[in-house]
Amino acid sequence: MNSSLALIRSDPRIAAARLAPEIDQDVPRSILIAPEEGWLEAESHSNPRGEVRAVRGWETLYNLVYRRPNQAVGPNFVGWIDSFTRQPIPLVEMQHWVRAITGRLLALPHRRVREIGCGTGLLIEAMAPYCGRYEASDLSAVAVAGLDAWLASRPDLAHVSVVTMPAHDVGKDDGLVDLIIINSVIQYFPDAAYLDNILERAWQNLLPGGHIVVGDVRAFGMQPMFMSAVGLANAPDEMTAGALREVVHAACLSQSELLVDPGFFHQFVQRHGGCISALLKDGRSRTEMTRYRYDVIIAKSPSVPVLEESPTILADIADLTNWLVAGQPGTAVMRNLPNARLARDRSAYKLMGCAHHSTSVGVLKGTLAEPSEVGIDPADLEAIASRYCRSCTFSPAQDFADGHFNASFGADMDGFRPMAPEPVMSSVLTSSPPLMLALRRLVTSLHGELAAHLASSVMPSRLLPVLDERHALRENSMGAGHFLPSWAIQTLDHILTGEEPDR
């Protein structure tokens, strides 16, 4: 193992390396590596070539996904795989997902609509019958060909046009629209700068009073909790907590998608003077979409709405019930509520961080059978409010990374209330797919070098990069967290100082 360490330490891309804590005496220890700062800095920045390649990559991937033989022509749920079960997400859940986002979209002006990344046409089928004009585009020629064939059988949708086009070419020469939909798409954008450019173009293409809806955004700060919950769900009972921690660490680094926190959109709206609502996904089901994704509605309003008075602050459900029964005018809010949909995942993440390395996954799962946290389900609050004909909306809270939310209650059933953007403190609000790609390639390349020089019996189990605070940590008013799990962050000082981690 010393020869592995020596080889890795001699690589100019590596600042420091050390053995990971022992998991099992029969299993070779992994090696934790701290990439060299200059290399890391250079690889963190995207470049035009990398951007083109990333777009080509997602185009290729979705041409592969949609090519499946015997695939039905027209809207369908191909490619929607549950990360926890690795099986297609149940049809009833997906149908609910479409209904929920369609409800949000139809509540906004929608005479002229433009959709970026229409996929197999799920939203076209749901929205287009209610629109005067619907322009859709997708990166995948296979998806567009399937949609064209389906539209040929739907003369009632003659006002729908579909083209094969990357997001950065959409809206260059087209007219203004009421509604621009970017649903479940931005995770495939190359980086944050690309997303910013797409939003900028969309803003220019909006009529006054129009909206941009960015749906199904994967929350950046919730990444460690999400990956930990998925890792635990897929781990065999006999695996140890130490091994599982390494699996989750590696899984976090293998992410290729762009993850974005709500603060990113608040910053965009601050620059443009519109209004914004970041909203939890609707629904009573507990899929990964209702737990880890959110929608953003950006309004090109002529002016920021002024609240008549400060909302009433409610502490708990008893407070809420009293407020509803009293039938008071105005609005009320409940702040920083623990989301019941995430109670088990929150407990799992905490437990995985502190469990002894030899504890089995079976024991962890047994401990979680009776979660220590319960939380409040947004759907329960909605049901209570609707009994009194009050509207409610749910938005990411200060501790969003831990799955906390704010609930706002209005005087009527008008659900969407655009607000002024909130101040954002952090400069790191998104993941960096270029950096993730560079780290994957670094690990593969180092592994190849070790394999060329060493016998397989002395090869480390894994090579696990650990990043410093500027790349891994983030904190802001919309939630604090980082994209690596807590145990991976804690190891960095030990790599650099050579001290043994204390767990």
Query: Scanning residues 244 to 273, which ones bind other proteins (CB under 8 A)?
Result: 254, 256
* Contacting range for other proteins; rule: CB under 8 A; set: 1-9, 282-290, 444-452, 466-474: 444-452
Give the separation between CA 71 and CA 54, rounded to whole angstroms.
Answer: 26
Nearest to 398 by CA among 455, 333, 442, 330: 333
Using CB under 8 A, which of 441, 453, 497, 499 touches other proteins?
A: 441
Give me the least distance between CB of 147 and other proteins, in Å please.
14
Q: Is 56 in the site for other proteins (CB under 8 A)?
A: yes
Q: Is 64 in the site for other proteins (CB under 8 A)?
A: yes
* Contacting range for other proteins; rule: CB under 8 A; set: 18-26, 39-47, 63-71, 271-279: 63-71
Give the separation between CA 43 and CA 38, rounded to whole angstroms.
Answer: 9
Which lies closer to other proteins via its Cβ, residue 368 or residue 438?
438
Phi, psi (rounded to 5 degrees) for 296: -125, 130
Buried b (16+ CB within 10 A) or exposed e, 425-449: ebebbbbbbbbbbbbbebbeebeee
Q: Is 42 in the site for other proteins (CB under 8 A)?
A: no
Give me the least distance between CB of 111 and other proteins, in Å please.
34
- Tokens at residue 176, please? 């203004």
Any alpha helices (H) in 188-336, and if so which ranges? 192-204, 223-234, 241-253, 262-272, 288-292, 317-326
DSSP tag of 445: H
Q: What is the DSSP string of 397-431?
A: -TTGGGTEEEEEE-SSS-----BPPPP---S--B-
Give the separation between CA 150 and CA 152, rounded to whole angstroms.
Answer: 5
Give me the least distance between CB of 267 and other proteins, in Å please.
29
Give me the least distance between CB of 426 and other proteins, in Å please.
27
- Tokens at residue 388, please? 């009194």
* Contacting range for other proteins; rule: CB under 8 A; set: 17-25, 194-202, 235-243, 438-446: 438-446
Give me the least distance between CB of 86 and other proteins, in Å please.
11
Which lies closer to other proteins via its Cβ, residue 161 or residue 256?
256
Which lies closer to other proteins via its Cβ, residue 141 or residue 176?
141
* Contacting range for other proteins; rule: CB under 8 A; set: 16-24, 35-43, 60-68, 489-497: 60-68
Give me the least distance between CB of 185 and other proteins, in Å please.
17
Helix axes 361-368, 223-234, angle to 10 degrees: 110
Give me the least distance between CB of 251 and other proteins, in Å please.
11
378 vs 168, 213, 282, CA distance in Å? 36, 21, 8
* Contacting range for other proteins; rule: CB under 8 A; set: 58-66, 344-352, 423-431, 484-492: 58-66
Give me the least distance between CB of 59 and other proteins, in Å please.
9
- Considering all CA atoms of the chain, what is the largest pairwise distance in Å, rounded to the nearest integer? 76
* Contacting range for other proteins; rule: CB under 8 A; set: 64-72, 260-268, 391-399, 419-427: 64-72
Give me the least distance between CB of 342 and other proteins, in Å please.
26
User: HEC profile for 21-90?
Assistant: CCCCCCCCCCEEEEECHHHHHHHHCCCHHHHHHHHHHHHHHHHHHHCCCCCCCCCCCCCCECCCCCCECC
Q: Is 86 in the site for other proteins (CB under 8 A)?
A: no
- Tokens at residue 362, please? 């079976």
Give me the least distance between CB of 140 and other proteins, in Å please.
9
Using CB under 8 A, which of 5, 19, 61, 304 touches other proteins?
A: 61
- Are 354 and 242 spatial neighbours (Cβ–Cβ below 8 Å)? no
Using CB under 8 A, which of 6, 42, 107, 141 touches other proteins?
A: 141
HSE, CB side, 13 Å, CA atoms: give it for residue 333: 11
* Contacting range for other proteins; rule: CB under 8 A; set: 99-107, 212-220, 271-279, 439-447: 439-447
Which lies closer to other proteins via its Cβ, residue 254 or residue 328?
254
Nearest to 74 by CA among 150, 127, 135, 140: 150
- Are 212 and 470 spatial neighbours (Cβ–Cβ below 8 Å)? no
Query: Scanning residues 178 to 237, which ones bind other proteins (CB under 8 A)?
Result: none
Which lies closer to other proteins via its Cβ, residue 193 or residue 451?
451
Q: Is 67 in the site for other proteins (CB under 8 A)?
A: yes
Using CB under 8 A, which of 37, 41, 42, 53 touches other proteins?
A: 53
What is the contact surface with other proteins in residues (CB under 8 A)? 53, 56-57, 60-61, 63-65, 67, 141-142, 254, 256, 441, 444-445, 447-448, 451
